[in-house]
Structure 1
Amino acid sequence: MSLIVIVGPPGSGKTTVGRALADALGAPFRDADADIVAVAGKPIADIFVDDGEDHFRALEREAVRRAVAEHDGVLALGGGAVLSEATRKLLADVPVVHLRVDLAEAVRRNEIDKGRPLLQVNPRATLRRLLDERLPLYREVADVEVDTTGRDVDDLAAEIRARLAVRTVAVNDAETPYPVLIGRGTVERLPEFLGKAARVAVLHTESTALLAQRVGSLLPDGVEATLMELPDAEDGKTVAVAEQCWDALGAEGFTRTDLVVGVGGGAVTDLAGFVAACWLRGVAVVHVPTSLLGAVDAAVGGKTGVNTAAGKNLVGAFHPPRAVLVDLDNFATLPERDLAAGLAEVVKAGFIADPAILDLVEADPRAALDATGPVVAELVERAIAVKAEVVASDLKEGGLRAVLNYGHTFAHAIEKLEHYRWRHGDAVAVGMVYAAHLNAITGRVDLVERTEAVLESLGLPTTYEAGRWDELLQVMKIDKKNVGATQRFVLLDALAAPVVVDDVTAEQQREAYERLTA
């Protein structure tokens, strides 16, 4: 257990909620105001009367400094503790929860507690002033913000506990580094990434309309939301749909300081990124992926694009997002087949870089398919970390980034032949088995059995229809990795040792297909 600090205005419930959170975590609770009383030997109200507010603030600074250094658990601070710049600096390196409360509720709670010296005269007007003055300081130090108005204490503690579990993966590419937030309730963090936006376009499909409305409701006063519904899945990834979005942005007067938010699966975030990349030659975009596949694949990395008659994602741009908010709660309602399809990209990350992913899946495939459990959270974080490291080194796919396409050459060919009716993850699963056969045929590592076993444990396909080699080959010849007429494949010299090769013969490619379809 490490330190968690609770801040907020008088009446927000810092002590009550702090104790409940400590109980939920099995951790000790400490109140900085109680420490001050113990040191001074008299109530806070008497310190104000006898010694003045300046003396109290000095005692408070020292009490907070000591508690932050000593305490291992939940620590509640007085409402004015954040006024001290020294205290705010102390809080920069610890998780801080800001409890928000509306004015009427704060007044009601403070009428019950008569021991607050700053609220003895005209408490309503004083509270309004304190709320307005201190809100920016609370938000400056806070990692999590929760409204306690009318809320059950145990529910609040449970929500805070879940939101403190948010993990951040930094994508540190040299041009535009950005964070990927992974956890429950991360969509609530959207206001942190608005920048100077006065307008926000929320792109979504019919299935994500409710979440898109919630995203719109998170915007502060003065920021307007425009919701744009897209056709579902790959039908929405066309130049025609992008053009409709651009027309809408023009009608709404979107400027370069405004923001696009993509709420949906990989098709939505691909399209949203492309729309943002092209409008005024580039406006900011934030992705809120609602599928596991979208979270670990399309939303991270800055690749955007649309499909054309020639193939998938052949028209696009590199446009890194301002942030990616991976809210694990969005995965709870996914059908198991969709969750499994997303795990195909996770498994791919295990084969090319992080074998611990494979160990986790093999140890308990059912846990890997439980969207509400801790295993999925770890798998998502590990897969995104793999992609983040590769992308940071090669934003525009000049070399290393190609390794992320392990299994994708064959997968993209399947998708085109099947007119994109296959789930992308299903195609990638089959593509990885094809690549595993190529590994073995070309004298590299033989991981065919392990690849098939891991994928089958998740209910993913591992074979494809026979008799279609000529069609598949024609599509693979226009793969983005190819150089001129030379085909390139991502293979594995060993587990977690990917390599891009250009010497796979036509006979070896056909033999891998025949083994796959046997």
Structure 2
Amino acid sequence: MALVVIVGPPGSGKTTIGRALAAALDAPFRDADADIADAAGKPIPDIFIDEGEEHFRALEREAVRRAVAEHDGVLALGGGAVLAEATRKLLADATVVHLEVGLGEAVKRTEIDKGRPLLQVNPRATLRRLMDERLPLYREVETFAIDTTGRDVDDLTAEIVAKLAVATVTVNDAEQPYPVLIGRGTTDRLPEFLGRAARVAVLHTASTAELAERVGALCPDGVEATLMELPDAEDGKTVSVAEQVWEALGAEGFTRTDLVVGVGGGAVTDLAGFVAACWLRGVAVVHVPTSLLGAVDAAVGGKTGVNTAAGKNLVGAFHPPRAVLVDLDHFTTLPRRDLAAGLAEVVKAGFISDPVILDLVEADPEAALDAANPVVAELVERAIAVKADVVGSDLKEGGLRAILNYGHTFAHAIEKLEHYRWRHGDAVAVGMVYTAHLNALTGRVDLVERTKTVLASLGLPTTYEPGRWDDLLKVMKIDKKNVGATQRFVLLDALAEPVVVDDVTADQQREAYERLTA
């Protein structure tokens, strides 16, 4: 396993929790202080008495250097190890768990252990000073922090194990790469991405109001959170709604160093990103998607936008987020139909790039529809990795990024005709079946039956009503991929081999529709 380092002040429980964590992870445990004592041939208090603190710190730096280089497992460091800049640099690539503790409890715990050389005189005042001095250094190296005050070891260990299960996919934006954190409890990581913000605007809908309040409460002292409720779903993705938010930001005195947080589905994160892109010509935004669809689609990639009478997402901007916090816990309360709609975008990623996604869904569709099942975490991570790879190669939709629109030309037309009453994922599912027919009609790979079968296994629609071709075609002709009057489609030469083409004939388009609706 990868190295997990435990840091924190005296009395925070580094050794006790470190041992419990190692046992839970079935990994070896190592204590840097024990290494120092072994190397010196004497207890640490004797090193302080005989050679002094400076000598001890030199031994400590060497012990930590060796442990970081050699150890795969859980490593507990002494409370002052982070004082050394060389040590802090060593921890830059490690997973570092910062154990916090209240002063009163730390004093009680350290009173039991009389072998702490720095706490022999006036321990309470000394401990307060050490905690205050070292806190910025702990925060500098931490991957995440856990408050141990008043909590038992089993509870703390379980929380750390859950947080360690977080996967990180990096989107390599040319200006500033950003992380997508995928796991349980990632919402709590928001404070890591506040930057220099003094104000945070939390955009949400009525359905995510409770979560938005929790997100606002994560802001530390000195950072003011303002909650702004948006109309639900696509009704909130309009210029007039964005204008109302801008007016509110102005009233609150939002500056360029402040932060917008989008808490909700794809419509919320699209609007939040657009608001952030335009306010003062660009302020930071962090997304907390609460739907599977929003997590794997709208929240990742930096495309923001609003709808107009002419169509969906035709007004917008490219504005990459500072981070995306994909908290799998939010998906456990989703209705089954909403979870399935999100899986449509996941399945799309399987067809265009990662067929393992299709294999996982086909092997156990019910597992894919159970948000608590580990297979969902793998599906989400794989789908986001596909999007991150494509986006990193084509940040502003110059070419390759168009493949992410597989099935979307027809899907967007359905959404427009249905006045956005259809779930986006349902429309994408039908759009993929339509595109599969185009693949076959143009002499490419025939994946019609596989497409229909995998989508149907998730309860997604695979047909559309007949008699609406002329209306659909009218909308498809203003698709964003088109060049002038030339229509372009994303098709598959083979599984996971997408291609953007501009030679699909009008007869082939109509025939694909006839087959879809037959």
TM-score interval w.r.t. the shorter chain? over 0.9
Deviation sequence 1:480-502 (CA, Å, 0-9, x none): 11222222111111111111111
Query: Cα offset for 1:261?
Result: 0.7
Contact map agreement 1:439 1:491 (CA 8 A) in 2: yes
- State the partner residue of 2:198: 198
Q: Distance in 2 between matches of 1:400 and 1:411?
A: 20
- State the partner residue of 1:382: 382
Query: Cα offset for 1:43?
Result: 2.5
Alignment partner of 1:306 is 2:343: no
- State the partner residue of 1:483: 483
Give the 5 Å matches for 1:52-67: 52-67=52-67
Return the letter of the residue paired with 1:266: G
**What is the CA RMSD across the aligned residues, in angstroms?**
1.3
Contact map agreement 2:82 2:137 (CA 8 A) in 1: yes
Contact map agreement 1:255 1:280 (CA 8 A) in 2: yes
Deviation sequence 1:39-62 (CA, Å, 0-9, x none): 333322222222211122122222
Contact map agreement 1:492 1:499 (CA 8 A) in 2: yes
Q: Distance in 2 between matches of 1:72 and 1:240?
A: 54
Contact map agreement 2:306 2:314 (CA 8 A) in 1: yes
After TM superposition, the runs of 4+ consecutive aligned structure 1 residues lying more than 6 A away are none
Deviation sequence 1:51-100 (CA, Å, 0-9, x none): 21112212222222222233222111110111112222222222111111
Give the 5 Å matches for 1:38-53: 38-53=38-53
- State the partner residue of 1:285: 285
SS in 2 for 1:332: helix
- State the partner residue of 2:243: 243
What are structure 1's unaligned runs of at least 5 residues? none
467-476 or 229-238, which deviates more: 467-476
- State the partner residue of 1:400: 400
- State the partner residue of 1:92: 92
Contact map agreement 2:291 2:330 (CA 8 A) in 1: yes
Query: Cα offset for 1:233?
Result: 0.8
SS in 2 for 1:182: strand
Q: Distance in 1 between matches of 2:399 and 2:31?
A: 54
Query: Cα offset for 1:468?
Result: 1.6
- State the partner residue of 1:341: 341
57-66 or 231-240, which deviates more: 57-66
Count of residue correspondences: 518
Query: Structure 1 length normalisation: TM-score?
Result: 0.97
Q: Distance in 2 between matches of 1:406 and 1:68?
A: 45
Query: Structure 2 length normalisation: TM-score?
Result: 0.97
Contact map agreement 2:173 2:320 (CA 8 A) in 1: no
Deviation sequence 1:292-335 (CA, Å, 0-9, x none): 11011001111111111111111111111111111112112111
Contact map agreement 2:287 2:324 (CA 8 A) in 1: yes
Query: Cα offset for 1:177?
Result: 2.2
SS in 2 for 1:398: coil
Query: Cα offset for 1:432?
Result: 0.1
- State the partner residue of 2:159: 159
Give the 5 Å matches for 1:201-212: 201-212=201-212
- State the partner residue of 1:324: 324
Contact map agreement 1:144 1:164 (CA 8 A) in 2: no
Q: Distance in 1 between matches of 2:141 and 2:250?
A: 37
Query: Cα offset for 1:517?
Result: 1.1
Return the letter of the residue paired with 2:410: F
Return the letter of the residue paired with 2:115: G
SS in 2 for 1:464: coil
Return the letter of the residue paired with 1:336: R
174-183 or 240-249, which deviates more: 174-183
Contact map agreement 1:436 1:451 (CA 8 A) in 2: yes
Query: Cα offset for 1:448?
Result: 0.4
Q: Distance in 1 between matches of 2:502 and 2:73?
A: 56
Could you tell me the percent identity over the aligned residues?
88
Return the letter of the residue paired with 1:350: G
338-347 or 37-46, which deviates more: 37-46
Deviation sequence 1:212-267 (CA, Å, 0-9, x none): 11211121221111110111111111111111101100000111111111111100
- State the partner residue of 1:494: 494
SS in 1 for 2:370: coil
Deviation sequence 1:13-51 (CA, Å, 0-9, x none): 111111111111112222121222233333222222222
Q: Distance in 1 between matches of 2:467 and 2:133?
A: 72
345-354 or 209-218, which deviates more: 209-218
Alignment partner of 1:511 is 2:472: no
Deviation sequence 1:458-484 (CA, Å, 0-9, x none): 111111112221221121122111222
SS in 2 for 1:287: strand
Q: Distance in 1 between matches of 2:256 and 2:84?
A: 36
Contact map agreement 1:178 1:321 (CA 8 A) in 2: yes
SS in 1 for 2:333: coil
Return the letter of the residue paired with 2:109: R
SS in 2 for 1:443: coil
Query: Cα offset for 1:370?
Result: 2.1
Query: Cα offset for 1:397?
Result: 1.4
Q: Distance in 2 between matches of 1:301 and 1:2?
A: 28
SS in 1 for 2:398: coil
Q: Distance in 2 between matches of 1:469 and 1:214?
A: 47
110-119 or 424-433, which deviates more: 110-119
Q: Distance in 1 between matches of 2:480 and 2:70?
A: 56
- State the partner residue of 1:296: 296
Give the 5 Å matches for 1:85-484: 85-484=85-484
Q: Distance in 2 between matches of 1:72 and 1:261?
A: 36
SS in 1 for 2:175: coil
Contact map agreement 1:303 1:316 (CA 8 A) in 2: yes
Contact map agreement 1:144 1:160 (CA 8 A) in 2: no
Query: Cα offset for 1:438?
Result: 0.5
Q: Distance in 1 between matches of 2:186 and 2:417?
A: 37
- State the partner residue of 1:14: 14
Contact map agreement 2:426 2:460 (CA 8 A) in 1: yes
256-265 or 483-492, which deviates more: 483-492
